[in-house]
Structure 1
Amino acid sequence: MISHKQITHYSIHATDGDIGGCKDILFDDQDFVARYLVADTNSWLPMSRKVVISPISVSKVNTDEQWLAINMSSQELKDSPSIDEHKPLSREYEETLFKYFGYGYYWIGPGAWGDFAHPTELADKEMEQTLAEDAAEPANHLRSCSEVHGYDVATLDEDVGHITDFIFDHTGWSLRLLVIDTNNWLPGGKKLAVLPKDIDTIDWSSHKVHVNLTQEQLMDKPEIDMDKLADASYLESILSKAEQ
Protein backbone atom coordinates (compact mmCIF):
# COMPACT_ATOMS: atom_id res chain seq x y z
CA MET A 1 0.00 0.00 0.00
CA ILE A 2 0.97 3.62 -0.43
CA SER A 3 0.00 6.87 1.25
CA HIS A 4 -0.89 10.15 -0.42
CA LYS A 5 2.08 11.85 1.24
CA GLN A 6 4.42 9.15 -0.07
CA ILE A 7 3.22 9.30 -3.65
CA THR A 8 3.78 13.06 -3.86
CA HIS A 9 7.50 12.21 -3.68
CA TYR A 10 7.30 9.65 -6.50
CA SER A 11 8.62 10.25 -10.00
CA ILE A 12 6.60 9.21 -13.06
CA HIS A 13 8.25 7.20 -15.83
CA ALA A 14 6.69 7.29 -19.29
CA THR A 15 7.69 4.79 -21.97
CA ASP A 16 10.32 7.27 -23.20
CA GLY A 17 11.65 8.69 -19.95
CA ASP A 18 10.94 10.58 -16.73
CA ILE A 19 8.12 13.14 -16.97
CA GLY A 20 8.16 14.68 -13.51
CA GLY A 21 6.35 13.70 -10.36
CA CYS A 22 2.93 13.16 -8.84
CA LYS A 23 1.50 16.18 -6.99
CA ASP A 24 -1.93 14.94 -5.93
CA ILE A 25 -4.55 12.18 -6.06
CA LEU A 26 -8.19 12.75 -6.98
CA PHE A 27 -10.39 10.16 -5.30
CA ASP A 28 -14.04 9.22 -5.65
CA ASP A 29 -15.87 9.84 -2.37
CA GLN A 30 -18.66 7.45 -3.35
CA ASP A 31 -16.65 4.40 -4.43
CA PHE A 32 -13.57 5.43 -2.40
CA VAL A 33 -11.06 4.73 -5.13
CA ALA A 34 -8.29 6.83 -6.69
CA ARG A 35 -9.54 8.06 -10.07
CA TYR A 36 -6.63 10.23 -11.17
CA LEU A 37 -3.06 11.12 -10.33
CA VAL A 38 -2.28 14.79 -10.94
CA ALA A 39 1.08 15.03 -12.70
CA ASP A 40 3.57 17.71 -11.68
CA THR A 41 4.96 18.48 -15.13
CA ASN A 42 6.30 22.01 -14.63
CA SER A 43 9.72 20.95 -15.91
CA TRP A 44 8.43 20.21 -19.43
CA LEU A 45 4.93 21.68 -19.75
CA PRO A 46 3.82 25.31 -19.35
CA MET A 47 2.76 26.05 -15.77
CA SER A 48 -0.75 26.91 -16.92
CA ARG A 49 -1.36 23.42 -18.31
CA LYS A 50 -2.15 20.54 -15.96
CA VAL A 51 -2.71 16.90 -16.89
CA VAL A 52 -4.05 13.88 -15.04
CA ILE A 53 -3.19 10.19 -15.28
CA SER A 54 -5.75 7.45 -14.73
CA PRO A 55 -4.66 4.35 -12.78
CA ILE A 56 -5.66 2.52 -15.96
CA SER A 57 -2.34 3.79 -17.37
CA VAL A 58 -0.19 2.75 -14.40
CA SER A 59 1.76 -0.39 -15.28
CA LYS A 60 4.05 -0.60 -12.25
CA VAL A 61 4.60 0.98 -8.83
CA ASN A 62 8.06 0.65 -7.28
CA THR A 63 7.76 1.47 -3.59
CA ASP A 64 11.46 0.83 -2.90
CA GLU A 65 12.77 3.33 -5.46
CA GLN A 66 9.70 5.60 -5.29
CA TRP A 67 8.54 5.73 -8.89
CA LEU A 68 5.60 4.60 -10.96
CA ALA A 69 5.55 3.66 -14.63
CA ILE A 70 2.80 4.51 -17.11
CA ASN A 71 2.09 2.85 -20.46
CA MET A 72 2.17 6.02 -22.55
CA SER A 73 4.80 8.30 -24.03
CA SER A 74 5.52 11.81 -22.80
CA GLN A 75 4.05 13.17 -26.05
CA GLU A 76 0.80 11.25 -25.53
CA LEU A 77 0.49 12.74 -22.06
CA LYS A 78 1.43 16.20 -23.33
CA ASP A 79 -1.30 16.04 -25.99
CA SER A 80 -3.96 14.72 -23.59
CA PRO A 81 -6.85 16.98 -22.50
CA SER A 82 -5.70 19.43 -19.83
CA ILE A 83 -7.55 20.38 -16.65
CA ASP A 84 -8.20 23.48 -14.59
CA GLU A 85 -6.94 22.33 -11.20
CA HIS A 86 -9.10 24.93 -9.47
CA LYS A 87 -12.32 23.47 -10.86
CA PRO A 88 -13.88 20.01 -10.40
CA LEU A 89 -13.48 17.52 -13.24
CA SER A 90 -16.72 17.09 -15.18
CA ARG A 91 -17.99 13.84 -16.64
CA GLU A 92 -17.73 15.55 -20.05
CA TYR A 93 -13.99 16.00 -19.45
CA GLU A 94 -13.64 12.38 -18.32
CA GLU A 95 -15.35 11.14 -21.50
CA THR A 96 -13.01 13.28 -23.61
CA LEU A 97 -9.98 11.95 -21.74
CA PHE A 98 -11.05 8.30 -21.95
CA LYS A 99 -11.83 8.60 -25.67
CA TYR A 100 -8.39 10.13 -26.24
CA PHE A 101 -6.68 7.14 -24.64
CA GLY A 102 -9.19 4.55 -25.88
CA TYR A 103 -10.17 3.41 -22.39
CA GLY A 104 -13.39 1.77 -21.30
CA TYR A 105 -15.59 3.91 -19.07
CA TYR A 106 -15.30 3.02 -15.37
CA TRP A 107 -18.79 4.42 -14.73
CA ILE A 108 -20.48 1.77 -16.91
CA GLY A 109 -20.89 -1.30 -14.72
CA PRO A 110 -21.57 -2.16 -11.09
CA GLY A 111 -18.10 -1.88 -9.55
CA ALA A 112 -15.56 0.83 -8.82
CA TRP A 113 -13.97 0.02 -12.20
CA GLY A 114 -17.16 -0.86 -14.06
CA ASP A 115 -17.26 -4.57 -14.91
CA PHE A 116 -13.61 -5.12 -13.97
CA ALA A 117 -11.70 -5.76 -10.75
CA HIS A 118 -8.62 -3.70 -11.63
CA PRO A 119 -8.24 -0.41 -13.51
CA THR A 120 -5.67 -1.73 -16.00
CA GLU A 121 -8.34 -4.08 -17.41
CA LEU A 122 -10.09 -1.03 -18.88
CA ALA A 123 -7.17 -0.32 -21.20
CA ASP A 124 -8.14 -0.97 -24.84
CA LYS A 125 -11.76 -1.60 -23.79
CA GLU A 126 -13.30 1.48 -25.41
CA MET A 127 -17.08 1.37 -25.02
CA GLU A 128 -19.75 2.48 -27.45
CA GLN A 129 -20.40 6.19 -27.05
CA THR A 130 -24.13 5.61 -26.98
CA LEU A 131 -23.81 3.77 -23.66
CA ALA A 132 -22.53 6.92 -22.00
CA GLU A 133 -25.06 9.14 -23.75
CA ASP A 134 -27.91 7.07 -22.33
CA ALA A 135 -26.63 7.47 -18.78
CA ALA A 136 -27.86 10.33 -16.61
CA GLU A 137 -25.31 13.01 -15.75
CA PRO A 138 -24.03 12.05 -12.29
CA ALA A 139 -23.06 14.28 -9.40
CA ASN A 140 -19.35 15.00 -9.16
CA HIS A 141 -17.77 12.77 -6.53
CA LEU A 142 -14.10 13.59 -7.14
CA ARG A 143 -12.15 14.98 -4.20
CA SER A 144 -8.55 16.16 -4.01
CA CYS A 145 -6.47 14.54 -1.27
CA SER A 146 -4.50 17.78 -0.93
CA GLU A 147 -7.74 19.70 -0.44
CA VAL A 148 -9.25 17.30 2.11
CA HIS A 149 -5.95 17.07 4.01
CA GLY A 150 -6.39 19.24 7.09
CA TYR A 151 -10.19 19.05 7.17
CA ASP A 152 -11.59 18.81 10.69
CA VAL A 153 -13.20 15.50 11.63
CA ALA A 154 -16.72 15.77 13.05
CA THR A 155 -17.90 12.80 15.09
CA LEU A 156 -21.51 12.31 16.20
CA ASP A 157 -20.56 14.22 19.37
CA GLU A 158 -17.99 16.88 18.51
CA ASP A 159 -15.01 17.71 16.30
CA VAL A 160 -12.01 15.48 17.02
CA GLY A 161 -8.76 16.00 15.11
CA HIS A 162 -8.20 16.45 11.37
CA ILE A 163 -7.44 14.39 8.25
CA THR A 164 -3.70 14.00 7.82
CA ASP A 165 -3.25 11.26 5.18
CA PHE A 166 -4.85 8.65 2.91
CA ILE A 167 -3.70 5.07 2.31
CA PHE A 168 -4.36 3.41 -1.06
CA ASP A 169 -3.95 -0.10 -2.40
CA HIS A 170 -1.76 0.56 -5.43
CA THR A 171 -3.08 -2.47 -7.35
CA GLY A 172 -6.80 -1.72 -7.51
CA TRP A 173 -6.24 1.84 -6.24
CA SER A 174 -8.99 1.56 -3.63
CA LEU A 175 -8.81 3.89 -0.64
CA ARG A 176 -8.26 1.52 2.27
CA LEU A 177 -7.72 3.87 5.22
CA LEU A 178 -7.96 7.52 6.18
CA VAL A 179 -5.59 8.78 8.86
CA ILE A 180 -6.86 11.18 11.53
CA ASP A 181 -4.45 13.23 13.65
CA THR A 182 -5.97 14.10 17.04
CA ASN A 183 -3.12 16.40 18.08
CA ASN A 184 -5.07 19.65 17.59
CA TRP A 185 -7.80 18.27 19.86
CA LEU A 186 -5.74 16.26 22.34
CA PRO A 187 -2.15 17.43 23.06
CA GLY A 188 0.28 14.65 22.27
CA GLY A 189 -2.50 13.08 20.23
CA LYS A 190 -2.50 9.99 18.05
CA LYS A 191 -2.74 9.12 14.38
CA LEU A 192 -5.81 6.92 14.08
CA ALA A 193 -6.85 4.77 11.12
CA VAL A 194 -10.49 4.70 10.01
CA LEU A 195 -12.18 2.89 7.15
CA PRO A 196 -13.93 4.63 4.23
CA LYS A 197 -17.21 3.09 5.41
CA ASP A 198 -16.86 5.18 8.58
CA ILE A 199 -17.17 8.35 6.48
CA ASP A 200 -20.61 9.90 6.22
CA THR A 201 -19.96 13.04 4.16
CA ILE A 202 -17.13 15.31 3.07
CA ASP A 203 -18.33 18.90 3.33
CA TRP A 204 -16.47 21.36 1.12
CA SER A 205 -18.25 24.44 2.53
CA SER A 206 -17.38 23.76 6.18
CA HIS A 207 -14.07 21.97 5.48
CA LYS A 208 -15.17 19.02 7.57
CA VAL A 209 -15.26 15.25 7.23
CA HIS A 210 -18.26 13.82 9.07
CA VAL A 211 -17.87 10.28 10.42
CA ASN A 212 -20.50 7.80 11.59
CA LEU A 213 -18.71 7.37 14.90
CA THR A 214 -19.00 8.81 18.37
CA GLN A 215 -15.96 10.45 19.91
CA GLU A 216 -15.38 7.34 22.02
CA GLN A 217 -15.68 5.01 19.02
CA LEU A 218 -13.19 7.10 17.06
CA MET A 219 -10.67 7.12 19.90
CA ASP A 220 -10.92 3.31 20.01
CA LYS A 221 -9.73 3.04 16.40
CA PRO A 222 -6.18 1.67 15.95
CA GLU A 223 -3.19 3.97 16.08
CA ILE A 224 -1.11 3.67 12.92
CA ASP A 225 2.65 3.96 12.41
CA MET A 226 3.11 5.57 8.98
CA ASP A 227 6.68 4.24 8.78
CA LYS A 228 5.36 0.66 8.55
CA LEU A 229 3.26 0.91 5.38
CA ALA A 230 5.60 -1.49 3.56
CA ASP A 231 4.84 -4.20 6.14
CA ALA A 232 1.86 -6.12 4.73
CA SER A 233 1.17 -8.08 7.92
CA TYR A 234 1.20 -4.88 9.97
CA LEU A 235 -1.32 -3.24 7.65
CA GLU A 236 -3.58 -6.29 7.69
CA SER A 237 -3.55 -6.05 11.48
CA ILE A 238 -4.51 -2.36 11.33
CA LEU A 239 -7.31 -3.08 8.85
CA SER A 240 -8.62 -5.87 11.06
CA LYS A 241 -8.62 -3.64 14.15
CA ALA A 242 -10.27 -0.79 12.24
CA GLU A 243 -13.14 -3.13 11.36
CA GLN A 244 -13.91 -3.71 15.04
Structure 2
Amino acid sequence: MLVSFKQLKHFSIHATDGDIGGCRDLLFDDQDFVVRYLVADTNTWLPLSRKVVISPISVTELDLDGESVHVSMTAETLQQSPSIDEHKPVSREYEETLFQYFGYGYYWIGPGAWGDFAHPGELADGGAGEQEPESDTPKPENHLRACGEINGYDVQTSDGDLGHVCDFVFDTTDWALRLVVIDTRNWLPGGKKVVVTPTALRVIDWSSHKVDVAMDQNTLQNQPEFDAGRLAEEGYLQSLIEKA
Protein backbone atom coordinates (compact mmCIF):
# COMPACT_ATOMS: atom_id res chain seq x y z
CA MET A 1 0.00 0.00 0.00
CA LEU A 2 1.30 3.44 -0.95
CA VAL A 3 0.85 6.45 1.29
CA SER A 4 2.31 9.93 1.26
CA PHE A 5 3.75 11.94 4.12
CA LYS A 6 1.05 14.58 3.60
CA GLN A 7 -1.61 11.90 4.02
CA LEU A 8 -0.08 10.40 7.16
CA LYS A 9 0.12 13.79 8.88
CA HIS A 10 -3.68 13.70 9.07
CA PHE A 11 -3.92 10.15 10.42
CA SER A 12 -4.89 9.32 13.98
CA ILE A 13 -3.03 6.64 15.94
CA HIS A 14 -5.06 3.93 17.65
CA ALA A 15 -3.78 1.69 20.43
CA THR A 16 -5.50 -1.57 21.32
CA ASP A 17 -7.60 0.31 23.88
CA GLY A 18 -8.30 3.61 22.15
CA ASP A 19 -7.03 6.70 20.39
CA ILE A 20 -3.57 7.95 21.39
CA GLY A 21 -3.27 11.09 19.28
CA GLY A 22 -2.16 11.75 15.74
CA CYS A 23 0.82 11.22 13.48
CA ARG A 24 2.95 14.35 13.65
CA ASP A 25 6.02 13.39 11.63
CA LEU A 26 8.02 10.51 10.15
CA LEU A 27 11.68 9.71 10.71
CA PHE A 28 13.33 7.87 7.83
CA ASP A 29 16.75 6.33 7.40
CA ASP A 30 18.74 8.21 4.75
CA GLN A 31 20.89 5.15 3.97
CA ASP A 32 18.34 2.34 3.82
CA PHE A 33 15.48 4.71 2.90
CA VAL A 34 12.85 3.20 5.17
CA VAL A 35 10.65 4.75 7.85
CA ARG A 36 12.12 4.00 11.25
CA TYR A 37 9.59 5.86 13.40
CA LEU A 38 6.25 7.59 13.39
CA VAL A 39 6.32 10.61 15.71
CA ALA A 40 3.12 10.84 17.74
CA ASP A 41 1.46 14.14 18.62
CA THR A 42 1.19 13.80 22.40
CA ASN A 43 0.33 17.35 23.46
CA THR A 44 -3.04 16.31 24.87
CA TRP A 45 -1.82 13.47 27.09
CA LEU A 46 1.90 13.85 27.82
CA PRO A 47 4.02 16.69 29.25
CA LEU A 48 5.11 19.30 26.74
CA SER A 49 8.44 18.80 24.97
CA ARG A 50 8.36 15.03 25.34
CA LYS A 51 8.59 13.18 22.03
CA VAL A 52 7.09 9.72 21.58
CA VAL A 53 8.14 7.59 18.62
CA ILE A 54 6.48 4.43 17.32
CA SER A 55 8.33 1.88 15.19
CA PRO A 56 6.59 0.36 12.14
CA ILE A 57 7.24 -2.92 13.97
CA SER A 58 4.21 -1.97 16.10
CA VAL A 59 1.90 -1.11 13.19
CA THR A 60 -0.78 -3.73 12.60
CA GLU A 61 -3.02 -1.86 10.17
CA LEU A 62 -3.07 1.29 8.08
CA ASP A 63 -6.64 2.37 7.32
CA LEU A 64 -6.63 4.82 4.40
CA ASP A 65 -10.39 5.33 4.41
CA GLY A 66 -10.50 5.88 8.16
CA GLU A 67 -7.24 7.85 8.13
CA SER A 68 -5.84 5.88 11.05
CA VAL A 69 -2.79 3.87 12.07
CA HIS A 70 -3.39 0.91 14.39
CA VAL A 71 -0.60 -0.27 16.69
CA SER A 72 -0.14 -3.38 18.83
CA MET A 73 0.15 -1.72 22.24
CA THR A 74 -2.03 -0.14 24.88
CA ALA A 75 -2.09 3.59 25.51
CA GLU A 76 -0.43 3.03 28.89
CA THR A 77 2.39 1.01 27.29
CA LEU A 78 3.14 3.91 24.99
CA GLN A 79 2.86 6.47 27.78
CA GLN A 80 5.39 4.53 29.85
CA SER A 81 7.83 4.04 26.97
CA PRO A 82 11.32 5.56 27.29
CA SER A 83 11.11 9.33 26.93
CA ILE A 84 13.16 11.58 24.70
CA ASP A 85 13.33 15.35 24.70
CA GLU A 86 11.45 17.10 21.91
CA HIS A 87 14.54 18.98 20.77
CA LYS A 88 17.02 16.10 20.86
CA PRO A 89 17.69 13.60 18.06
CA VAL A 90 16.92 9.91 18.41
CA SER A 91 20.26 8.31 19.28
CA ARG A 92 21.26 4.67 18.89
CA GLU A 93 21.50 4.41 22.69
CA TYR A 94 17.88 5.54 22.92
CA GLU A 95 16.86 3.06 20.23
CA GLU A 96 18.45 0.20 22.18
CA THR A 97 16.51 1.23 25.30
CA LEU A 98 13.27 1.56 23.33
CA PHE A 99 13.65 -1.79 21.57
CA GLN A 100 14.47 -3.53 24.86
CA TYR A 101 11.36 -2.00 26.43
CA PHE A 102 9.12 -3.36 23.67
CA GLY A 103 11.06 -6.62 23.26
CA TYR A 104 11.81 -5.99 19.59
CA GLY A 105 14.71 -7.35 17.58
CA TYR A 106 17.31 -4.80 16.52
CA TYR A 107 16.91 -3.74 12.89
CA TRP A 108 20.60 -2.75 12.77
CA ILE A 109 21.81 -6.33 13.33
CA GLY A 110 21.69 -8.09 9.98
CA PRO A 111 22.29 -7.39 6.30
CA GLY A 112 19.02 -5.71 5.31
CA ALA A 113 17.00 -2.62 6.14
CA TRP A 114 15.19 -4.69 8.79
CA GLY A 115 18.10 -6.85 9.89
CA ASP A 116 17.61 -10.44 8.79
CA PHE A 117 14.00 -9.83 7.78
CA ALA A 118 12.11 -8.33 4.85
CA HIS A 119 9.34 -6.76 6.92
CA PRO A 120 9.50 -4.80 10.19
CA GLY A 121 6.71 -6.82 11.82
CA GLU A 122 8.97 -9.87 11.87
CA LEU A 123 11.08 -8.16 14.55
CA ALA A 124 8.14 -7.91 16.95
CA ASP A 125 9.02 -11.07 18.85
CA GLY A 126 12.72 -10.44 19.37
CA GLY A 127 14.19 -11.81 16.17
CA ALA A 128 17.69 -10.55 15.55
CA GLY A 129 17.60 -8.68 18.85
CA GLU A 130 18.76 -11.89 20.53
CA GLN A 131 22.14 -11.26 18.91
CA GLU A 132 23.35 -8.76 21.50
CA PRO A 133 26.41 -6.78 20.37
CA GLU A 134 29.46 -6.93 22.59
CA SER A 135 29.34 -4.20 25.25
CA ASP A 136 32.69 -2.77 24.17
CA THR A 137 31.75 -2.68 20.48
CA PRO A 138 31.37 0.92 19.23
CA LYS A 139 27.71 1.70 18.63
CA PRO A 140 26.96 2.52 14.99
CA GLU A 141 25.24 5.82 14.30
CA ASN A 142 21.74 5.87 12.95
CA HIS A 143 20.88 8.02 9.95
CA LEU A 144 17.48 9.46 10.79
CA ARG A 145 15.90 12.38 8.97
CA ALA A 146 12.55 14.01 9.72
CA CYS A 147 10.19 14.40 6.77
CA GLY A 148 8.79 17.52 8.42
CA GLU A 149 12.25 19.07 8.47
CA ILE A 150 13.21 18.22 4.88
CA ASN A 151 9.80 19.10 3.46
CA GLY A 152 10.35 22.52 1.89
CA TYR A 153 14.11 22.17 1.34
CA ASP A 154 15.34 23.67 -1.93
CA VAL A 155 16.59 21.19 -4.52
CA GLN A 156 20.09 21.67 -5.88
CA THR A 157 21.02 20.15 -9.24
CA SER A 158 24.42 20.05 -10.94
CA ASP A 159 23.71 23.38 -12.67
CA GLY A 160 21.66 25.30 -10.12
CA ASP A 161 18.67 25.16 -7.81
CA LEU A 162 15.29 24.04 -9.12
CA GLY A 163 12.19 23.50 -7.00
CA HIS A 164 11.71 22.31 -3.46
CA VAL A 165 10.80 19.05 -1.72
CA CYS A 166 7.04 18.92 -1.14
CA ASP A 167 6.20 15.31 -0.25
CA PHE A 168 7.40 11.73 0.19
CA VAL A 169 5.78 8.46 -0.92
CA PHE A 170 6.16 5.27 1.15
CA ASP A 171 5.26 1.64 0.57
CA THR A 172 3.81 0.34 3.84
CA THR A 173 4.60 -3.27 2.94
CA ASP A 174 8.12 -2.68 4.23
CA TRP A 175 7.84 1.08 4.98
CA ALA A 176 10.35 1.89 2.24
CA LEU A 177 10.69 5.40 0.82
CA ARG A 178 9.88 4.96 -2.85
CA LEU A 179 9.64 8.50 -4.21
CA VAL A 180 10.53 12.07 -3.29
CA VAL A 181 8.15 14.67 -4.72
CA ILE A 182 9.63 17.97 -5.94
CA ASP A 183 7.56 21.05 -6.78
CA THR A 184 9.09 23.21 -9.54
CA ARG A 185 6.19 25.65 -9.90
CA ASN A 186 7.81 28.43 -7.86
CA TRP A 187 10.91 28.26 -10.05
CA LEU A 188 9.63 27.66 -13.56
CA PRO A 189 6.64 29.17 -15.41
CA GLY A 190 4.22 26.31 -15.92
CA GLY A 191 6.22 24.10 -13.55
CA LYS A 192 4.87 20.91 -12.06
CA LYS A 193 5.34 18.36 -9.29
CA VAL A 194 7.80 15.68 -10.34
CA VAL A 195 9.27 12.63 -8.64
CA VAL A 196 12.75 11.23 -8.14
CA THR A 197 13.75 7.96 -6.53
CA PRO A 198 15.67 8.23 -3.22
CA THR A 199 18.83 6.92 -4.90
CA ALA A 200 18.98 10.25 -6.77
CA LEU A 201 19.57 12.08 -3.48
CA ARG A 202 23.28 12.76 -2.99
CA VAL A 203 23.31 15.06 0.04
CA ILE A 204 20.68 16.28 2.48
CA ASP A 205 22.17 19.42 4.03
CA TRP A 206 20.32 20.74 7.07
CA SER A 207 22.61 23.78 7.40
CA SER A 208 21.73 25.15 3.94
CA HIS A 209 18.23 23.60 3.87
CA LYS A 210 18.99 21.98 0.53
CA VAL A 211 18.77 18.55 -1.05
CA ASP A 212 21.39 17.81 -3.70
CA VAL A 213 20.17 15.52 -6.50
CA ALA A 214 22.34 13.68 -9.02
CA MET A 215 20.93 15.28 -12.15
CA ASP A 216 20.89 18.59 -14.00
CA GLN A 217 17.95 21.02 -14.21
CA ASN A 218 16.74 19.75 -17.58
CA THR A 219 16.70 16.14 -16.38
CA LEU A 220 14.86 17.09 -13.20
CA GLN A 221 12.14 19.10 -14.90
CA ASN A 222 11.54 16.16 -17.27
CA GLN A 223 11.02 13.66 -14.47
CA PRO A 224 7.59 11.98 -14.29
CA GLU A 225 4.79 14.23 -13.08
CA PHE A 226 3.22 13.27 -9.75
CA ASP A 227 -0.52 12.80 -9.24
CA ALA A 228 -1.37 12.14 -5.56
CA GLY A 229 -4.86 11.02 -6.54
CA ARG A 230 -3.46 7.96 -8.30
CA LEU A 231 -1.47 6.47 -5.40
CA ALA A 232 -4.07 3.76 -4.84
CA GLU A 233 -4.03 2.82 -8.53
CA GLU A 234 -2.42 -0.54 -9.24
CA GLY A 235 0.79 -0.19 -11.20
CA TYR A 236 1.07 3.58 -10.72
CA LEU A 237 4.21 3.42 -8.59
CA GLN A 238 5.98 1.09 -11.00
CA SER A 239 5.12 3.30 -13.96
CA LEU A 240 6.68 6.31 -12.21
CA ILE A 241 9.82 4.39 -11.18
CA GLU A 242 10.32 3.12 -14.72
CA LYS A 243 10.20 6.68 -16.05
CA ALA A 244 12.27 8.28 -13.26
Q: Which residue of 1 aligns with 2:7?
A: 6
Q: For residues 51-62 of structure 1, what are the structure 2 equivalents within 5 Å?
A: 51-62=52-63
Q: 1:160 aligns with which of 155, 162, 177?
A: 162
Q: 1:229 aligns with which of 227, 231, 234?
A: 231
More displaced, 100-109 or 187-196? 187-196
1:171-230 deviation digits (Å, cap 9, x = unpaired): 200000000001221133110010011111101111110111111111121001112211
Q: Distance in 2 between matches of 1:232 and 1:25?
A: 25
Are the equivalent residues in 2 in contact too, given 1:103–1:122 (CA < 8 A)? yes
Q: Which amino acid aligns with 1:69?
A: H
Q: Report the CA distance between 1:132 and its aligned residue.
A: 5.9
Residue 85 of structure 2 aligns to a residue whose secondary structure is coil
Are the equivalent residues in 2 in contact too, given 1:117–1:172 (CA < 8 A)? yes
Q: Distance in 1 between matches of 2:87 and 2:113?
A: 25
Q: Distance in 2 between matches of 1:212 and 1:197?
A: 9
Q: 2:209 aligns with which of 190, 207, 210?
A: 207
Distance 1:186-1:108 versus aligned 2 partners, 3 A rule: same
**Structure 1: 4+ residue segments shifted above 4 A:** none
Q: Distance in 2 between matches of 1:133 and 1:32?
A: 28
Q: Report the CA distance between 1:137 and its aligned residue.
A: 2.5
Q: Distance in 2 between matches of 1:132 and 1:72?
A: 30
Q: Does 1:198 pair with 2:200?
A: yes
Q: Report the CA distance between 1:49 and its aligned residue.
A: 2.0
The unaligned stretches of length 5 or more in structure 1 are: none
1:135-188 deviation digits (Å, cap 9, x = unpaired): 432234100000000101111111110000000001200000000001221133
Q: Report the CA distance between 1:47 and its aligned residue.
A: 2.2
Distance 1:177-1:104 versus aligned 2 partners, 3 A rule: same
Are the equivalent residues in 1 in contact too, given 2:3–2:231 (CA < 8 A)? yes
Q: Could you state the TM-score of these two structures normalised by the residue count of structure 2?
A: 0.95
Are the equivalent residues in 2 in contact too, given 1:88–1:140 (CA < 8 A)? no
Q: Report the CA distance between 1:19 and its aligned residue.
A: 0.8
The unaligned stretches of length 5 or more in structure 2 are: none
Q: Which residue of 2 aligns with 1:117?
A: 118
Q: Does 1:64 pair with 2:65?
A: yes
Are the equivalent residues in 2 in contact too, given 1:58–1:120 (CA < 8 A)? yes
Q: For residues 150-189 of structure 1, what are the structure 2 equivalents within 5 Å?
A: 150-189=152-191
Q: Report the CA distance between 1:134 and its aligned residue.
A: 5.6
Q: Report the CA distance between 1:125 and its aligned residue.
A: 1.3
Distance 1:135-1:195 versus aligned 2 partners, 3 A rule: farther
Q: Could you state the TM-score of these two structures normalised by the residue count of structure 1?
A: 0.95
Q: Distance in 1 between matches of 2:164 and 2:97?
A: 35
Instruction: Give the number of equivalent residue pairs.
Output: 242
Q: Distance in 1 between matches of 2:141 and 2:162?
A: 29
Q: Report the CA distance between 1:43 and its aligned residue.
A: 2.0
Q: Which amino acid aligns with 1:41?
A: T
Distance 1:163-1:217 versus aligned 2 partners, 3 A rule: same
Q: Distance in 1 between matches of 2:225 and 2:183?
A: 10
Residue 50 of structure 2 aligns to a residue whose secondary structure is coil
More displaced, 153-162 or 44-53? 44-53
Q: Distance in 2 between matches of 1:151 and 1:197?
A: 17
Q: Which residue of 1 aligns with 2:18?
A: 17
